[in-house]
Amino acid sequence: MGRWGRNWATDVLPQVPEVELVGCVDVGPGILSEVVKSGIARKEQCYRSFAAALLSTGPDAVLITTDMTSHVATVRAALEAGQPVLCEKPLAPSMAKARDLVELASKLHLTLMVSQNYRFYPAVRAVQQIVADGFLGALVHIAVDFRRYSGALPAPGHLSWPQPLLLDMSVHHFDLMRAVIGREPREVFCRTWNPTWAGFVDPPEGAAAIVFDDGLVVSYRGSWICPVRPTPWAGEWRMEFEQGELWWTSRSDNMTSDDDVVRLYRRNGPPEGEPVDLPTLPALDRAGALAQFAQSLDQQTAPETSAQDNLGSLAIVYAAIESAATGEPVRIATPPKS
């Protein structure tokens, strides 16, 4: 129930009427006092022990908003207690630990979902549909550019993370790649760098070439230390097709669709391109993920961003980290389908 957990409680949960908060857990008594003071929960709904909270509240599911370092232990405890789980990204600090959690959820026949919230935006859904329709012909190349200055954030924890750009931020963009093109990655070649003035322990900037099925190459560049002209959080995308190009971006600073834009440029068409109509979604961002989680439990179906599916996105992250460390391309094994 730190800053991000409280934000989930105050800003996200009220958007999903199927969800009711019945208990809050944090090891810090001061944080729980803040939860009560801010009206998020009553004192009797706050627990310092996860086991006690599960026993007392008898929940239908568990939402995990801890730091990544606590994900594995907390997800495992929830699953072993018979609870479906929605967990913040990234799921685990290694592919092996992520696979262990996926296997445990499968063995116990429980839903384990990762909140890859960037998928739940109108621009993303519009691009998915255009790619699926195929009316621009073959997809030739994708270029993605993400630029932000994280020094503007209040005490960001990722300043001390290993490979903070790749693990904390690029995981969103790598997941979007798989979401919009419907293909799986095969190889990654990545470089990261850390200017002496950046204030990060590990590199906050990087570039990668990611090869997907059928040889499609995605050129990716990301920066946590770009001082001017930031992109929206989903980055800026140029998708080149046989018969044209898509330019798009998504997710504004206030976590709305205010910055969602998709422009289509046809071969021999007007140079200014044409705007693409965007769909209206019932819930955006984390609320979209939470609503789908609730729906998957109600209908007993697998959510779009199940932990099983998320292995494909994590595979890009950890292959990129390995490539940045070794200076060599890294092959990616396709995660087995459940």
Extents of the domains making up the chain: 3-116+288-306, 118-281+314-331
pLDDT at residue 153, as a whole number: 53
- Secondary structure of residue 236 in the 3-state scheme: strand
According to the model, what pLDDT value does residue 158 have?
A: 64
Whether pLDDT at 335 is above 60: no
SS3 41: coil
CA distance linking residue 195 with residue 193, whole number of Å: 7
The answer to whether residue 34 scores a pLDDT higher than 80 is yes
Quick check: do 3-116+288-306 and 118-281+314-331 share a fold? no
Its CATH class, for the domain covering 118-281+314-331, is: alpha beta
The DSSP bridge partners found for residue 237 are 144, 248
Please tell me the predicted confidence (pLDDT) of residue 198: 87
What is the average per-residue pLDDT within 203-228?
96
Q: Give the three-state DSSP class for 75.
A: helix
Average pLDDT estimate for 133-149: 96
CA dihedral angle for residue 18, residue 23, residue 27, residue 29, rounded to 10 degrees: 120
Assign domain 3-116+288-306 one CATH number from 3.40.50.261, 3.40.50.720, 2.60.120.260, 3.80.30.20.
3.40.50.720
Which pTM does this prediction carry? 0.95
The set of residues, in sequence order, having a beta carbon less than 8 Å from that of 68 and lying 6+ positions away, is 88, 90, 92, 93, 167
Quote the tokens at residue 298.
Answer: 């109600």
Identify each DSSP E strand in the chain by its residue range.
Answer: 24-25, 46-47, 62-64, 85-87, 112-114, 139-147, 185-193, 205-212, 217-223, 236-241, 244-249, 261-266, 274-275, 330-331
Mean pLDDT of the chain: 94
Residue 154 has pLDDT above 60, yes or no: no
Taken in order 37, 38, 43, 48, is the CA torsion positive or negative?
Answer: negative
For the segment 143-163, the average pLDDT, to the nearest whole number, is 77
User: What's the rounded Cα separation, in Å, for the pair 78 and 94?
Assistant: 19
